[in-house]
Amino acid sequence: MTAREGGGRRPLIGTGLEEEATFEYDVREYPWREVIQSILEVEGMPLEELHKTEEAKLHLLEAGDKEFQQGWGPGRRANPFLRKWKTFWSRDSTVQDPRTKRFNDLLHRFVRDFISPRMGNETIIYQREPTLRVVFPSPFVPGKRHTDSEYHHQPAEVNWWFPVSCRVWGTNSLWVESEPGKEDFHSLDLKYGEVKTLGRSHRALYMSVTVRLQVCRFYGNQCVHYCEPNSTEYTRVSIDLRAIPLSKFDPLYSHRSDRVSFRLGGYYLSTHGIGGESSRPPHQQRSTAPEAPGGIIGSSFPTHY
Q: Which is nearer to Fe ion, 223 or 292 (CB)?
A: 223
The site for Fe ion (CB under 5 A) is made up of 148, 220
d(CA 166, CA 194): 9
Nearest one of 70, 48, 77 to 169, comparing CA atoms? 48
Q: Which is nearer to Fe ion, 130 or 220 (CB)?
A: 220
Kindly state the smallest distance separating residue 147's Cβ from Fe ion, in Å. 7
Q: Which residue is nearest to Fe ion (CB)?
A: 148
Please enumerate in sequence order all residues whose Cβ is within 8 A of that of 60, keeping only pairs 6 or more positions apart, or say none.
51, 136, 138
Kindly state the smallest distance separating residue 12's Cβ from Fe ion, in Å. 16
Kindly state the smallest distance separating residue 233's Cβ from Fe ion, in Å. 25
CA-to-CA separations, 13 to 105, 124, 148, 179, in angstroms, rounded: 31, 17, 17, 11
Kindly state the smallest distance separating residue 221's Cβ from Fe ion, in Å. 9
CA-to-CA separations, 150 to 221, 235, 249, in angstroms, rounded: 8, 27, 18
Kindly state the smallest distance separating residue 129's Cβ from Fe ion, in Å. 15
d(CA 162, CA 213): 8
φ and ψ of 69, to 5 deg: -65, -25
Q: Is 98 helix (H, G, I), strand (E, B) or coil?
A: helix
Kindly state the smallest distance separating residue 241's Cβ from Fe ion, in Å. 12
Q: Which is nearer to Fe ion, 125 or 158 (CB)?
A: 158
d(CA 173, CA 164): 12
Q: Which is nearer to Fe ion, 112 or 225 (CB)?
A: 225
Kindly state the smallest distance separating residue 5's Cβ from Fe ion, in Å. 13
Q: Which is nearer to Fe ion, 70 or 100 (CB)?
A: 70
First to last CA, the chain: 17
Q: Which is nearer to Fe ion, 31 or 302 (CB)?
A: 302
Q: Which is nearer to Fe ion, 169 or 226 (CB)?
A: 226
User: How many other CB atoms sit within 10 Å of the CB of residue 69?
Assistant: 15
d(CA 22, CA 6): 25
d(CA 85, CA 80): 9
